[in-house]
């Protein structure tokens, strides 16, 4: 029997995807639930798994854009593995029978174990092209060319659209991280022992944003035609670096969460991002976004809005700097924070007030813990 494997739908509004890479060669014998290929949409990367065991026939080449529900390959379930494939299968079963310890998860960027798209060295020929047709001068020096992925193309379109369709401005402030560092150092071990998750920085920032949004609701508002929607809840998108690029999974109802619940949710979402298990439900519906360029060493930046949201908070690296406190110059761990916002909804006074309130909560975390202003 021939089984047709159709391209799955990543989400309700997505009609086209790209076959990024075949993980099994054409004509090979595959087993049920084997990962056959990676499929990339404008927001997520999916894996197509074999529905049954049999002989694989690939119908769509890599780096090809296809319609959702199009047949990508077939599996002949009447076929049987040859001797070499049978031996290989038995070897794989033996190797997975004794699993090795899993490495401890990390939110820092990881090198992908998936093969990168094939890169081709190209030497433009003057007889076939003109300077007006190429980004680079036509000489004998080699260049590398690779097709832009579906995800990268969509991100490019959205970034340009944000610039063209919003009145985006950015305001800055800086935070003395002394008290947060002291609290984390004092309670780190007990927090992890009690809740099974580390006490990171992000829970402090999420809670500070939630409290500040209660006072400045326009920072979480959304334009819908000629109306402004003010959500009475906070769904915070957290920018996470995955092997396919930056994704922004959403922490739902963050305003009602404890520090431990926030940290646990973020850890789970980050793990899912690294394993390409995020779905459209994880990536849509946020009301505010936090991005942390500090993990890459960024000292200061202007984060770009995540539409249709109206504001995004940028965290940056913590750096010891001299500051004046009570007339004395002291060294403190300081972080620049940035708020990019849509000036159509958020006035300058509100944006500055919102960011100042976030700073105040972060510099006195007991306000967050005790619920006092």
Same domain membership, residue 172 and residue 75: no
Question: Which of 53, 77, 97 is at the close of a domain?
Answer: 97
Identify the three-state secondary structure at position 21.
strand
Per-residue confidence band for 89, with pLDDT thresholds at 50, 70 and 90: low
Q: Which domain holds residue 23?
A: 2-97
Query: For the residues of 323-355, what is the DSSP string, one character each?
Result: EEETTEEEEEEEEEEEEEEETTTS-HHHHHHHH
Helix or strand (DSSP H, E) at 65: strand 64-67
Active-site option among 226, 320, 347, 364? 347
Look at residue 138 in the predicted model and tell me its pLDDT: 63
Are the CB atoms for 113 and 38 separated by under 8 Å?
no
Q: What's 295's domain CATH number?
A: 3.30.559.10
Are the CB atoms for 136 and 144 separated by under 8 Å?
no
Same domain membership, residue 190 and residue 281: yes
Same domain membership, residue 192 and residue 63: no
Identify whether 106 is part of a domain: no
pLDDT tens-digit readout, 189-214 = 999 999 999 999 999 999 999 999 99
Give the pLDDT mean for 41-47: 77
Same domain membership, residue 300 and residue 180: yes
Per-residue confidence band for 114, with pLDDT thresholds at 50, 70 and 90: very low
Cα separation, 287 vs 308, in Å, equals 8
Q: Mean pLDDT across the chain, nearest whole number? A: 85
Query: For the residues of 154-217, what is the DSSP string, one character each?
Result: HHHHHHHHHHHHS-EEEEEEEEE-HHHHHHHHHHHHHHHHHHSS---SHHHHHHHHHHHHHH-G
Per-residue confidence band for 147, with pLDDT thresholds at 50, 70 and 90: confident
Sequence-ordered list of residues with C-beta below 8 angstroms from that of 267, at least 6 positions apart, any chain: 105, 107, 197, 198
Cα separation, 252 vs 256, in Å, equals 9
Same domain membership, residue 320 and residue 228: yes
Same domain membership, residue 64 and residue 197: no
Identify whether 237 is part of a domain: yes
Same domain membership, residue 75 and residue 172: no
Same domain membership, residue 176 and residue 93: no
Using the CB atoms, write b or e for 76-98: b if 16+ within 10 Å. Answer: beebebeeeeeeeeeeeeeeeee
Are the CB atoms for 311 and 341 separated by under 8 Å?
yes
Tell whether the model's pLDDT for residue 50 goes beyond 90: yes
Same domain membership, residue 219 and residue 298: yes
Cα separation, 108 vs 296, in Å, equals 9
Identify whether 91 is part of a domain: yes
343 is catalytic: yes
Peptide bond into 308 cis (omega under 30): yes
Are the CB atoms for 55 and 13 separated by under 8 Å?
no
Look at residue 65 in the predicted model and tell me its pLDDT: 87
Same domain membership, residue 321 and residue 234: yes
pLDDT tens-digit readout, 284-326 = 889 999 999 999 999 999 999 998 999 999 999 999 999 999 9
Question: Which of 79, 97, 115 is at the close of a domain?
Answer: 97
Lowest mean pLDDT among 12-16, 260-264, 286-290, 356-360: 12-16
Identify the three-state secondary structure at position 36.
strand
pLDDT tens-digit readout, 161-191 = 888 899 999 999 999 999 999 999 999 999 9
Question: Which of 81, 97, 113 is at the close of a domain?
Answer: 97
Identify whether 112 is part of a domain: no
Tell whether the model's pLDDT for residue 136 goes beyond 70: no
Active-site option among 26, 189, 281, 343? 343
Identify whether 159 is part of a domain: no
Look at residue 184 in the predicted model and tell me its pLDDT: 94
Tell whether the model's pLDDT for residue 118 goes beyond 70: no
Look at residue 24 in the predicted model and tell me its pLDDT: 94
Q: What's 17's domain CATH number?
A: 2.40.50.100
Tell whether the model's pLDDT for residue 102 goes beyond 60: no
Identify whether 260 is part of a domain: yes
Tell whether the model's pLDDT for residue 221 goes beyond 90: yes
Identify whether 107 is part of a domain: no
Q: How many folded domains does the chain comprise?
A: 2
Same domain membership, residue 262 and residue 175: yes
Same domain membership, residue 294 and residue 178: yes
Give the pLDDT mean for 110-131: 43
Identify whether 54 is part of a domain: yes
Long-range pairs for 265-271: beta carbons < 8 A, 24 or more residues apart: 266/200, 266/202, 266/203, 266/238, 267/105, 267/107, 267/197, 267/198, 269/238, 269/240, 270/105, 270/107, 270/240, 271/105
Give the pLDDT mean for 50-66: 92
């Amino acid at each position: 029997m021939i089984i047709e494997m159709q391209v799955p739908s990543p989400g309700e509004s997505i009609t086209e995807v790209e076959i990024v890479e075949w993980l099994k060669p054409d004509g090979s014998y595959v087993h049920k639930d084997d990962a056959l290929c990676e499929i990339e949409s404008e927001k997520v990367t999916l894996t197509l798994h074999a529905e049954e065991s049999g002989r694989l026939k690939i119908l769509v080449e890599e780096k090809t854009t296809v319609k959702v529900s199009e047949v990508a390959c077939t599996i002949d379930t009447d076929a049987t593995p040859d001797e070499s494939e049978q031996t290989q299968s038995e070897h794989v079963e033996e190797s997975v029978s004794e699993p090795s310890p899993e490495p401890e998860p990390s939110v820092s960027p990881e090198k992908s174990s998936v093969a990168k798209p094939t890169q081709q060295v190209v030497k433009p020929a003057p007889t076939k092209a003109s300077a007006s047709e190429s980004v680079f001068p036509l000489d004998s020096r080699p260049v590398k060319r690779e097709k832009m992925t579906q995800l990268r193309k969509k991100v490019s379109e959205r970034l340009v659209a944000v610039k063209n369709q919003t009145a985006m401005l950015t305001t800055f402030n800086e935070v003395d991280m002394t008290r947060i560092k002291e609290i984390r150092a004092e309670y780190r071990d007990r927090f992890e022992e009690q809740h099974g998750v580390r006490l990171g920085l992000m829970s402090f920032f999420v809670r500070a944003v939630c409290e500040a949004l209660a006072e400045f609701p326009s920072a979480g508002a959304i334009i819908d035609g000629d109306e402004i929607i003010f959500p009475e809840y906070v769904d915070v998108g957290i920018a996470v670096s995955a092997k396919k690029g930056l994704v922004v999974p959403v922490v739902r109802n963050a305003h009602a969460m404890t520090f431990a619940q926030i940290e646990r949710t973020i850890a789970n979402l980050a793990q899912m991002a690294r394993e390409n298990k995020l779905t459209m439900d994880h990536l849509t519906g946020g009301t505010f976004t936090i991005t942390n360029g500090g993990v890459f060493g960024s000292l200061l930046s202007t984060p770009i809005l995540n539409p249709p949201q109206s504001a995004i908070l940028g965290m940056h690296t913590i750096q010891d700097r001299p500051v004046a406190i009570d007339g004395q110059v002291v060294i403190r761990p300081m972080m620049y924070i940035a708020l990019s916002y849509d000036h159509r909804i958020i006035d300058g006074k509100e944006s500055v007030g919102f960011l100042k309130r976030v700073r105040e909560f972060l510099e006195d975390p007991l306000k967050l813990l005790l619920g006092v202003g």
